[in-house]
Amino acid sequence: MVTRVLCRHGAAICPECIQIDDAAKRMAGIINGLVTFTPLWELRHKWIAVRLNDGGHDGNLYDSREDAINHQLDERFCCYVAMQSMITGAKPLDCAIYLEFHRQAYDANMRLHEPQAPQLIVPTAAYDRMTGRRRHGI
């Protein structure tokens, strides 16, 4: 089991301290490209598999999470994104948090890739709306 260093706020994953890497930027670009160039009615019930190491994907839209999982060589190397939760696009910060959460979970031997498991990450903008939080400068 990997020991994680906590940030200055005492969190393992902190939106203020997380480093937005190339994988997060690539994942955001893929999601935003799909949202821009795919009709909404086609995209809203689809899933994508995003590789944890580089934020890339295999170019396929899947009808279900189970289909996305079954088409991977090893399901633990990917995270699975319901496009309905990203229908307004994605920010690199959201993607960095999503990727890091899945990396840490897999490092701790958790299993988040089960077909019937719920989607655990809420995009930052949605969380801010739910909690009434306002971000300055974003």
| Residue 38: per-residue pLDDT | 95
Total residues found in the chain within this entry: 138
| Residue 119: per-residue pLDDT | 56
Q: How far apart are CA 56 and CA 112, in angstroms?
A: 19
**Which of 23-37, 61-75, 122-136 has the highest average model confidence (pLDDT)?**
23-37
| Residue 74: per-residue pLDDT | 86
Phi, psi of 77 (to 5 degrees): -90, 5
Q: Where residue 8 falls among pLDDT bands split at 50, 70, 90?
A: confident
Q: Where residue 9 falls among pLDDT bands split at 50, 70, 90?
A: confident
Would you say residue 27 has pLDDT above 60? yes
Short-list 127, 126, 79, CA closest to 105: 79
pLDDT mean over 99-122: 72
pLDDT mean over 21-45: 95
Residue 134 or 110, more confident = 110
Residue 66 or 113, more confident = 66
